[in-house]
Amino acid sequence: MNIGAFDRVIRLGGGLGVVLFDYVSSASWEIIFLLFGVWSVTTSVFGWCPFYKILGFNTCPTNFANTNTSD
């Protein structure tokens, strides 16, 4: 996971807003709004963004590194 809770809430709200706007928009922009909205909602639900990974961003405060040090 590389997306924190605040970032996920913002993405979810924004994505749902864009999908709702897509519902009332003209046909020429419809697919662009739909793709952007679905992308935002999907990254919010899964908590992982491939662009954050590529750019090295991480807003998730939890580190899931393996700390098992068995002797």
Find, among 31, 10, 28, the residue nearest to 19 by Cα: 31
pLDDT of 22 reads 83
- Rounded-to-integer distance, Cα 38 and Cα 35, Å: 5
Tokens linked to 54: 């590529």
Res 16: pLDDT: 92
Interval 33-42 mean pLDDT: 91
Q: How far apart are alpha carbons 67 and 4 in whole angstroms?
A: 21
Higher pLDDT among residues 9 and 29, named by residue: 9
Q: Please tell me the predicted confidence (pLDDT) of residue 58.
A: 87
Domain ranges of the chain: 5-55
Q: Is the pLDDT of residue 70 over 70?
A: no
